Structure 1
Amino acid sequence: MVHRFSTRLLNVCIGSLFKAHKLEKAESVIINGIRLGVLPDVVTYNISIDAYCCFGIDAGYAILHRMREADVTLDIISYNSLIASTTRNHQIDRSFDLFDEMIQRGIAPDVWSYNILMHDLFKLGKPDLANRIFKDIIIAEYSPSIATFNIMMNGLCKNGYTNNAFMLFRNLQHHGFVPELLTYNILVSGLCKIGRLRSARRVLKEIVESSHVPNAITFTTLLKCFFRKKKFEERIELLLEMKSKRYTFVGFAYCTVIGALIKIGKVKQVTEFMVDMTEIGIELDIVSYNTLINFYCKTGESEKAYKLLDEIEKKGLECDKYTHTIMIDGLCRAGNIKGAAQHLKYMNMMGFDSNLVAYNCLVDGLCKVVQIDDKIKVYKSMERYHFVAKLLLSCLRSGMKILKSAQRAVLLGLRYSGFPGEAKRLKSKIRIARILNR
């Protein structure tokens, strides 16, 4: 009894050490255990196989020799760990070799052996072979687990056979299969990708009518699909419907709907959703903040947008290039070209490697301000174009690639504003900057 308990304790210890990637310490524990008369069992070696497989199949396979030397009988878990390692590294031929070796040693594969193979074949884009494995499971009268069906449906969906996956799902239901939420989410995702929104909504209805509760993944998948199809009204309806049933959401769900409302100009509803987010205490990520900053910029409330930037900093989040680009675009829309240019300078100073969109927003904003304001003074027009021209040269000289359309916009702006000489000199400087950065 003491010996069995000691071996179990040995396995717990080495399992923890292997998870912490402390292989040498784990090996020393095994050696010390043997010295004390605590002999490792098949579980000990299986834990070792799984750990060493992280360094490649050969490292894991070497443990089998140690097992034979210690006269420990290999089992199905030993081979499943090795097969899983080969599938992770897409060594499908080696997987089948191990499968054959296992059978030759009199170890019958279990349903997980087949599941591992199916999963890898789907990942490698070989759905026909995976389907053959699935048929083998049925023919051999194994009891497929729910994971088997999930792997099958997920693999079919990701390989472009969503309709087949949906047919399989209905067929399984007809034979008494009770799907889990993961199964439903796989189908919702697959149906959304091929544009079968009605079917996806029907699956959502089935989830609601079943004992399962739709989660954030379910809603996010549908909301993203509505976004791609530009079905803004449907997206808002879905969120309101789910909200009325008191389902929980993540910030992404709210922010995607806010983004849709911004696009169709429903400012009042945006404010209501923002209040809801605050009341239920949703923690915003950087994507959510970007959506809200975009809203304030488009409604001309740049001061509130700047407050959000301060809030981001206080929370310890890092602004990405989209945050700054949204700010630049918003300032341009508000006619604050100088503020937008200064923000672009700050963006460059912070080391963002790609701000082409931000630069084009600035150029576009400058051109619109000059064209729209008929009363603008000539020297002020020149001042604005000169300011952006300096930024353009600064970026080009630093090796940054600027879109040619943006370069042409500045040159044309100078010419049409009555400064052809400035445009000619700028063109020459652009050419030199290109030559120097080849």
Structure 2
Amino acid sequence: MAKWSIVKRITVFGGSFNSMKHMVLAPAELSWTCSFSAMHSLIDTGGGEEVPKKTAENSGSSGSNSIRRIDDYTSLVEKYRRDGNLSAAYDLLHSLQDKKNICFPVSVLNNLLAAAGGEKDTKLSCRAFRLLLFQAAGTAPLSWDCYLNLARAFIDTDDCFHLLDLLREVSVSSLPCRLIVINRTILAFAESRQVDKVVKILDKMKEWECKPDVITYNSVLDVLGRAGLVNEMLKLLSSMKEESDVSLNIITYNTVLNGTRRACRFDMCLVLYQEMVGCGIEPDLLSYTAVIDSLGRSGNTKEALRLFDEMKEREKIRPSVYVYRALIDCLKKSGEFQRALQLSDELKNTSSLDLAGPLDFKRYLRPLRR
């Protein structure tokens, strides 16, 4: 469709949808075509012809009626939400799924999604999320709250039918951000500690057109590690190594190192660290912190001190107060009081500028969410 056709089409359907003005700035050849059953066409891409002038000029009652109907639908959805009649809101959205040019304001859908999440209404949550996702396509990504509200609807149920159906449709759609949407959904379910659903999504993704990438795998590794499911985490790491199109990175190993450390699987930390270095991945502050702490707590203070000295020799890495204190505590427990006293004095004489602080850890904690 030509650029001016888009402008005129937006003019025909009213100026109440301010967010659509950004589509004018999108490249003319950009096309968002999805297979979602609930998506409503905002632009007629039928023949690529411009809308005749008389359509805009002579819209008369039909144009005003169209706008009035949209306003009526919006008011009705809001009324159902305020009254707590979410099933009626769902039925209304379902009845309008084949209607063209019905575009609800984002704020209305956001409120509906939040209400559906609070009421644990999985069907309505997925439908509202679908509409939000489509209307945001090409303009702005969905807010993090949208993903959290979607996840909240599934907290008290084991039924993932609507969720998996939604994500499958995302997977086969032409949205360029489809993998990002699925990855952010995984993170939202991880944040609400729905580990079983995160694993189900990953398993289904392997069957879908949109395959998991290293960000997907790293997210699931983190979920399993935080849940203490170390064996499952290590099994997933092994399967990642067999994937030809997935390359393990520093985030992968840091995630697994911290997962094994939290679960007190100190025997695995050094093995994983050596494997990481053997792959040519240089350890960073998080890597050193995890393995040094693990070695110290397992009683292997000699190797912990060696890695501590190695870390201090790295130009771009500064030791943290946490590493110093962890080592001092481990040395005391192993009866190495003299060495513990030396480290304590070293810490006292070290300027705070030469120590890693919270901001340094944030810098190394590369976000899994994108």
The residue correspondences of 1:27-426 to structure 2 (distance < 5 A) are 114-115=18-19, 138-139=67-68, 152-153=105-106, 157=110, 162-163=113-114, 180=134, 186=142, 190-193=146-149, 195-197=152-154, 201=160, 203-207=162-166, 210=169, 213=172, 215-243=178-206, 248-281=211-244, 282-294=246-258, 298-301=265-268, 302-313=270-281, 319-348=283-312, 349-352=314-317, 355-367=320-332, 369-370=333-334, 376=335, 381-396=336-351, 400=355
AA in 2 matched with 1:206: D
Deviation, structure 1 residue 328: 1.9
1:296-355 superposed Cα distances (whole Å, 9 cap, x missing partner) = 663413144123034244xxxx64422222222222233233433443344344334672
Deviation, structure 1 residue 277: 0.9
SS at match of 1:197: coil
In 1, the alpha carbon distance for the partners of 2:308 and 2:286 equals 12
Deviation, structure 1 residue 249: 0.6
Distance 1:390 1:136, change over 3 A: farther
SS at match of 2:277: helix
SS at match of 1:283: coil
Deviation, structure 1 residue 291: 1.8
AA in 1 matched with 2:254: N
Distance 1:189 1:354, change over 3 A: farther
Equivalences, count: 266
Deviation, structure 1 residue 220: 2.3
1:127-177 superposed Cα distances (whole Å, 9 cap, x missing partner) = xxxxxxxx999349899969x65xx438964xx77436989x969979xx8
In 1, the alpha carbon distance for the partners of 2:356 and 2:132 equals 56
TM-score by length of 2: 0.52
- The answer (yes or no) to whether the contact 1:188–1:222 under 8 Å persists in 2 is no
Deviation, structure 1 residue 388: 2.0
1:197-234 superposed Cα distances (whole Å, 9 cap, x missing partner) = 35995542332575853843344233323332334344
- The answer (yes or no) to whether the contact 1:162–1:191 under 8 Å persists in 2 is no
In 2, the alpha carbon distance for the partners of 1:365 and 1:306 equals 22
Q: Which residue of 2 aligns with 1:96?
A: none
In 1, the alpha carbon distance for the partners of 2:303 and 2:144 equals 45
- The answer (yes or no) to whether the contact 2:224–2:233 under 8 Å persists in 1 is yes
AA in 2 matched with 1:190: C
AA in 2 matched with 1:300: D
Deviates more, 1:108-117 or 1:329-338: 108-117
- The answer (yes or no) to whether the contact 1:262–1:295 under 8 Å persists in 2 is yes
Distance 1:116 1:233, change over 3 A: closer
In 2, the alpha carbon distance for the partners of 1:163 and 1:139 equals 26
- The answer (yes or no) to whether the contact 1:332–1:366 under 8 Å persists in 2 is yes
TM-score by length of 1: 0.45
Please tell me whether Structure 1 or Structure 2 has the larger radius of gyration of its CA atoms: 1
AA in 2 matched with 1:307: E
AA in 1 matched with 2:164: K
What 5-or-longer segments of structure 1 have no aligned partner? 1-42, 47-73, 81-106, 120-134, 371-375, 404-438
In 2, the alpha carbon distance for the partners of 1:186 and 1:210 equals 17
The residue correspondences of 1:10-25 to structure 2 (distance < 5 A) are none
Distance 1:181 1:350, change over 3 A: farther
In 2, the alpha carbon distance for the partners of 1:325 and 1:206 equals 41
- The answer (yes or no) to whether the contact 1:226–1:232 under 8 Å persists in 2 is yes
- The answer (yes or no) to whether the contact 1:286–1:319 under 8 Å persists in 2 is yes
Q: Which residue of 2 aligns with 1:34?
A: none
- The answer (yes or no) to whether the contact 1:154–1:186 under 8 Å persists in 2 is no
Deviation, structure 1 residue 189: 6.0
AA in 2 matched with 1:153: V
Provide the aligned C-alpha RMSD in A. 5.3
